[in-house]
Structures are given as C-alpha cells and as structure tokens.
Amino acid sequence: MAALMRSVISTFSIERNVFLSKGSGVVMEPKRYVRGLRRKPVRVLLPGNDTGKVLKPPPQSDPAGMNVKRLKEAKVSPATEHPHKSDFVKKRSYLESVIKPAQTVASKDQVDGLRFERASPGDKRLAKLVSVARSRTFREHQGKIVLEGRRLICDALDAGAKPQTVFFSTVDRLRELPLDKLGRATLVKVKFEDIKMWSDLVAPQGVIAIFSRPDPSRLNFTHRGHAVPLSLICDNIRDPGNLGTMLRCAAAAGCQNVLLTKGCVDVWEPKVLRAAMGAHFRLPIYPSLDWDDIRSNLPKPVIVHVADSSSVADTSGETDEKASKAGDYGWVSTRSHNKNIHNEDYDSDSDSEAEDKDSSHPRVDTKLYHDSWAQSPTALVIGGETHGLSLEAVQLAKKTDGHRLFIPIVPDVDSLNSAMAASILLFEGRKQLLKLLQTSGKKARPKAEKLL
C-alpha cells in the first residue's frame, strides 16, 4: 500500500496532467501536488489549447470547490472593480456629515405668512447677541441695541426702528407684535429658559429683540402735537435709573427734545430703557453731545435755566462775590450759601483744579421754581447728583439771561433726587408755557374778530 502511494505522488510531481471539466468547458492546469487543485487558475484556455486567447470564466459557472473566502473578499471590497464609484460614495458620505449638523441647528416654520426658525438646544445666537449688545462699546461701534418686552418692542416698531433679530418663546408671544413690521427681521423660536437666563427682568415676557441703533432724526414720533417749547439738558447724569426717569418725565411733560452731554450714562443702557418706559420712542433724544452741538440743537432765541442747589432766594439780585465751582450748582438742597458747600464726591485733584480755574464763577440770578421763568422757548439744565453741573452750563445760562432755579425744602433734608427735581421743574415749566399760550391765544382772537 505504501509503495502504491509513493508511485501516485511521484506521478503527480513528475507529470503535468490536464483536467477537463465537461460541464463548463474550462481547462484547469494544476502545477504541483494535490494542493494545486485548490488554487485559483492562472490562465483559462480554450479546449483547443489556443494560448493566444484568454477566456474569463462566467460567474455562474464557478465550480463548487471555489474558495468561499475569495467570494467574501470580492463582495466586501468592490473598490477594485469600481474605483470611481468608491470615491463618489466617500464624497457623498462626507458631504452628508457636514450638511446634517447645519440642518439640525434650526428647522423652519411659519406663522401668519412669516417664516421663523426653531433653534436647537445648542444654539448660541441668543447668548452671543445679547451679551455683546449689552456692551456700550459694541452698541456704539456696531450700532445694535437690545429691547425686551412686548410694549417696548411695539413702541420701537411704531416709531420706525428697524429690527434685526427677534427671539421669542411661544408663537402667541410673537403674534402680540405687529407682524407686518417684522418682514425683514430674523425670527428665532427659543426655549423660555434661555430667555429667562439672559433677561434683565424679574418676570421675563418671553421676547427679546435686537434692533439697529435708531437715529432720532429719522424716527416717527407720535403725539407731538402736545409738545411745548421746552428742552431738557442732562449734564453729567451718571445713574441709569435717574436718567431713565428723567426721560420719562420729559416725555410726559411734552418736551421738544432731550440733549445729553458726553458725561452722561449711555441712553441705550438696559436699566435706562426700563426706567424710561418707552420714552426713547416718544421724543427726540440726542446723546453724547458737546456744548457746541447742544447750542445748535436749541431753538433761537432760547433762555437756558439751570437747577440750583441753594435753598434761599437771592432777593437782592446779587450772588456771592466769590462763587464756588460749577459742581456746586446742583438741583436742590437745604444749604443756604454756595460758599459753604463742600463737594465730598469730588476727589482732591479735581477740587484744587476747579478752584484755581473758576475763582470767579459766572453770576446768575436766582429764582424760585414757581415764579415766572418760562415765558418763551426755554431749556432746563439738570446736573448729576455726584458731579453737579459743568462750567459750560452756567456760562450758557449767563449768556442767555437765564436763572438759577431752586426748590425750597424743609430743613434737615439734604437734597431731592435729581429725577424728582427734574420732574417738578419740567411740569412747572409746562404749566407756565401752556398758560402763556392760552393768554396769547385769547389776545389773538379779538384781533382776528376785528379783521373780520
């Protein structure tokens, strides 16, 4: 038996036999040993042993003994047969991976014909815009402001302000706004928790808007028919609450405009907006002006009055021979003489400089607030509680024959709030101007009747 096996092996190793498959007509030529039968064919020849032509075997005629592993590899890696198709698939999968995150950021919807976006949980637009728009430097350079609440946003839209982006929590909140004026704005629906996080209000209303910084000369102010020839000049008002309240009083008293010096707080500060209650869109407000610009924005002729910190009227018409610095002209206090006032809020350097430069202060006559002082186009200057009025304000009052107005109060009370003093003086000025207009109208009627 062993001898027989040795003869068979030697036969396969020495001779090269050709095996013919009758079913497929394919000639397979093994090289050495029985192991060669399991190898893939090197060449496929025609039955006539024509070596010049090569025939590819059809896929359905593979013998049953073909290597299964080879078939799996052929199915897994089709890149060898279609290299261009593989590149296309790779590019398509890459584009899908890039486009999908952008699509998941916001899905668009409509409300009353306006399209809005639904922000995803990771959307940072609200946080970015609100945090940046609260910076005064950004507001001045980029020209953007933040308005919060339905009433304030509606007042801005009615005045002609241009919205850029509106964030709202529910569709009902959006419908409370005039939708016909939001056509060019980007509407984004966010979660109420996000608005609450960035809101300055104790009870957020669920709507925040980013507006372009308005130009007061281009806004459309309503109810201007009730205005009187009275202007308010805010000089060195540093407290946002005081400035906002003064703007609200100026709008309620029917002032023509409000002028702010460069030492005042930003008029678009969130606290100023809340305290003003929409006064920004009811009368022209010109911020960051120097005194030359203030004079150009006042009517001609005009009389400028300043609020005084004295509580005793100068009946003789004369002031102290040596007046103190301009900061002593505040709004109202119980101190009887300007020369005895010491401004503790000034630092020592500013005190010494002011005393050296202003040893002879302009003399301006004093007058009680309820006396007749508003008999023509009038401007009222209110100084801040800390720094008071500037020297230019008192010089302008002296130049226009104005007065130092003061409000007498009971003893042992240091002073009134600047916003409270401004409201008293503004409404007193309005009363006197309206009375003047009524008397002038009554005098004009008989003349008109005589002409008829």
Q: Dump pLDDT digits (tens) for 36-55.
A: 555 666 666 666 555 555 55
Residues contacting 235, CB < 8 A, separation 6+: 261, 263, 264, 381, 382, 383, 384, 389, 390, 393
The amino acid present at 291, given as its one-letter code, is: W
When pLDDT is cut at 50, 70 and 90, the band that residue 151 belongs to is: very high
pLDDT score for 186: 94
Give the residues across from 419 on adjacent strands: none
pLDDT score for 123: 85
| Residue 298 · residue 229 · CB < 8 Å | no
When pLDDT is cut at 50, 70 and 90, the band that residue 102 belongs to is: very low
When pLDDT is cut at 50, 70 and 90, the band that residue 285 belongs to is: very high
Instruction: Identify which has the larger pLDDT, 20 or 415.
Output: 415
When pLDDT is cut at 50, 70 and 90, the band that residue 349 belongs to is: very low
pLDDT score for 296: 94
Which tens digits make up the pLDDT trace of 193-223? Answer: 989 888 888 889 999 999 999 999 999 998 7
Residues contacting 17, CB < 8 A, separation 6+: 30
Say if residue 78's pLDDT is above 50.
no
Fold of 224-437: Alpha/beta knot (3.40.1280)
pLDDT score for 416: 84
| Residue 136 · residue 269 · CB < 8 Å | yes
* Architecture per CATH, 109-212: 2-Layer Sandwich (3.30)
**In this prediction, what percent of the chain has a pLDDT beyond 70?**
62
pLDDT score for 353: 43
Residue with tokens 């068979």: 8
- Give me 184's structure tokens: 């060019």
Measure CA 244 to chain center: 19
Say if residue 132's pLDDT is above 80.
no
Same topology, domains 109-212 and 224-437? Answer is: no
Residues contacting 426, CB < 8 A, separation 6+: 230, 232, 249, 250, 253, 255, 380
When pLDDT is cut at 50, 70 and 90, the band that residue 324 belongs to is: very low
Indicate the domain borders of the chain: 109-212, 224-437
Average the pLDDT over each of 22-31, 106-115, 374-383, 426-435 and give the range with the smallest value: 22-31
CA distance 364 to 378: 16
Alpha-helix residue ranges (DSSP H) falling in 41-82: 68-76
The amino acid present at 339, given as its one-letter code, is: K
pLDDT score for 71: 45
| Residue 394 · residue 258 · CB < 8 Å | no
| Residue 285 · residue 216 · CB < 8 Å | yes
When pLDDT is cut at 50, 70 and 90, the band that residue 319 belongs to is: very low
Q: Is the dihedral of CA 35, 41, 47, 49 positive or negative?
A: negative
- Give me 348's structure tokens: 């020592």
Q: What is the pTM of this model?
A: 0.67
pLDDT score for 105: 43
Average the pLDDT over each of 36-40, 154-158, 275-279, 392-396 and give the range with the smallest value: 36-40
Region 235-243: mean pLDDT is: 94
Say if residue 437's pLDDT is above 80.
yes
Instruction: Identify which has the larger pLDDT, 73 or 306.
Output: 306
CA distance 201 to 344: 34
When pLDDT is cut at 50, 70 and 90, the band that residue 402 belongs to is: very high
Region 371-386: mean pLDDT is: 93
When pLDDT is cut at 50, 70 and 90, the band that residue 14 belongs to is: very low
418-451 helix and 240-252 helix, angle to the nearest 10 degrees: 20
Q: Is 398 exposed, middle or buried (0-12, 13-18, 19+ CB in 10 A)?
A: middle
- Cβ-based neighbour number of residue 66 at 10 Å: 12
Instruction: Identify which has the larger pLDDT, 135 or 44.
Output: 135
pLDDT score for 337: 36
- Give me 313's structure tokens: 């009227």
Alpha-helix residue ranges (DSSP H) falling in 135-181: 136-142, 150-158, 171-175
**In this prediction, what percent of the chain has a pLDDT beyond 90?**
45
CA distance 9 to 133: 92
pLDDT score for 19: 45
Average the pLDDT over each of 65-79, 87-101, 122-136 and give the range with the smallest value: 65-79
Region 24-45: mean pLDDT is: 56
Q: Is 24 exposed, middle or buried (0-12, 13-18, 19+ CB in 10 A)?
A: middle
SS3 180: helix
Which tens digits make up the pLDDT trace of 269-280? Answer: 999 999 999 999
| Residue 147 · residue 211 · CB < 8 Å | yes
Residues contacting 381, CB < 8 A, separation 6+: 233, 235, 304, 305, 306, 307, 389, 393, 396, 397
Residues contacting 303, CB < 8 A, separation 6+: 376, 377, 378, 379, 400, 401, 402
Alpha-helix residue ranges (DSSP H) falling in 219-258: 240-252
